[in-house]
Amino acid sequence: MTLAWFVAGTDTGIGKTHVSCTLLHALQLAGHRACGMKPVASGCLATAEGLRNEDALALQAAASQPAPAYGLVNPIALRDPLSPHLAAQHDGVHITLDPLRSAYDRLRGDHDAVVVEGVGGWLVPLAPGVFASDIAKAWRLPVILVVGLRLGCLSHALLSARAIEADGCQLVGWVGNRIDPAMDAVDENLTTLRELLPAPCLGVLPHGVPPAQAAALLEMALLS
């Protein structure tokens, strides 16, 4: 059976890709053939090969070799750096879950583990009536929450955890990411998160440490 998780974030810009790549390296250390997926990505650049997203390219590079095709890692690539439902409107694209699921199933067939990275926060809209959270719900993926450690993270983390559980998804753990190395009272904030979040802390990633080096800091029990 293929292992799989959905990596959600408390907000945009809090390091979901960094944590997802770190998870991929941890999975490979545990002996798994692992790959990442970013089903929908906005803010893509035009290249000779087509639209490419920096985060999706990082996930592709962190996968077990040979790396999966870009179109499987990122089936929906959108130009403008906007909420996906707006970027899709600008590109004349209608986002539905079926083609995303087809790519996910192909990745599952070729790997022992798949890390599916969300876009923005839990309730970012993808299309009318469709949200990023619907990917985790429809595919029945356990959720790992990335908490960007900065001022305001407590409320963002607790609200995200409440929304994840209210949607019927399983929050299996959270990862603290030191996006603000100058954050005050970081240890006290981490203690509060450990006390109040309804899932275990899987690790705290320091600022500026590459995923391959940070992989050993993650809790391996979940990934074994």
Query: Which residues are catalytic, by number?
Result: 38
Local structure of 21: helix, strand or coil: helix
CB hemisphere CA count around 157 (13 angstroms): 29
Q: Quick one: tokens of 4?
A: 């799989």
- Nearest one of 12, 7, 8, 18 to 207, comparing CA atoms: 18
Segments of 149-221 assigned E as strands: 171-177, 201-205
In 10 A of CB 127, how many CB atoms? 17
